[in-house]
Amino acid sequence: MIEIVRIILLLGIVGAGATFLGSAAAWWMDEQRRLYRLARKVLGGQPDGFIVAAGRNAAAGFRLESRQVLVMRDGGAHALLYRLHDLVGAELIVDDQVVARVLRDEPRRTLDQVAAGASQVVLRLLFDDPRHPDFSLELWQPNDQLRNGARSPAAAIREARAWLGRCEAIMRRVTPPTAVAAPAKVAARIEQEPPPWEGDSEFDEVDEDEIFDEESDPSEFDPPRLL
């Protein structure tokens, strides 16, 4: 009898341990936590803003200190790292219609009301990059109502609207680098100045401060890169 009790207790302990390990693994591999850890690693620290398209393994985040924006698909298997000043706008699309928009150097188009019965909610980020000019996060789709713990379409719209405000703040705070000179002025200088092989080279006297302003990071001038 005592041996039976011991076996039952042992099986109970093993079962409880397995349940605990399974719960811990599920918590650790949770979609939002996993993508957040990846974003924190790539951006070099805690993101100042982060949003996940639940159930689609897609997310976007930014960090002011590193001056970078990260977008991810397929759980991070496909990702792009943009410079912060490459973010030129964002759109909130509800049921295939743009209901709110912020664009650099343009008036903001605000959202009048939240559609509680929306069937599709998409946040579209716009970048100054000819190869990858935008990134869409599907925050709500019709089949999302079948997922456990899924938020409502209204909650997805409110989160996307908050991100429009973040994008607008970024565009006000971070300005793109100023061009060195307009093409016409460059052409005029070429006609007036002697060839570089006559006399001292002007490149010996170029000051780095003339190329990068005080708030710019030279690394920002690198092109966007795939991760």
Is-contact 90 124, C-beta < 8 A? yes
DSSP assigned state of 177: P
Provide the edge-to-edge strand list for the sheet that holds 49-53: 49-53, 58-63, 68-73, 78-83, 225-226
pLDDT of residue 218: 46
**What's the rounded Cα separation, in Å, for the pair 226 and 98?**
28
- Of 19 and 188, the structure prediction assigns the larger pLDDT to 19
Asked if the model's pLDDT at residue 37 lies above 70, the reply is: yes
Helix, strand, or coil here: 216?
Answer: coil
- Is pLDDT at 117 greater than 80 in this prediction? no
As given in the structure block, the two tokens for residue 94 are 């509800």
Q: What is the pLDDT of residues 89-98, one digit of tens each?
A: 999 999 989 9
- pLDDT 10s digits, 51-80: 999 889 999 999 999 999 999 999 888 999
Is the confidence at residue 38, as pLDDT, over 90?
Answer: yes
Domain ranges of the chain: 31-173
CB–CB of 170/102 below 8 Å? no
126: which residues sit within 8 A by CB, 6+ positions away?
A: 87, 88, 89, 90, 91, 103, 133, 134
The residue whose two tokens read 């960090």 is: 63
Per-residue pLDDT, 118: 84
Q: Which one has a higher pLDDT value, 158 or 147?
A: 158
| 220: its two tokens | 């920002």
pLDDT band at 129 (very low <50, low <70, confident <90, very high): very high
State the average pLDDT over residues 135-141: 93
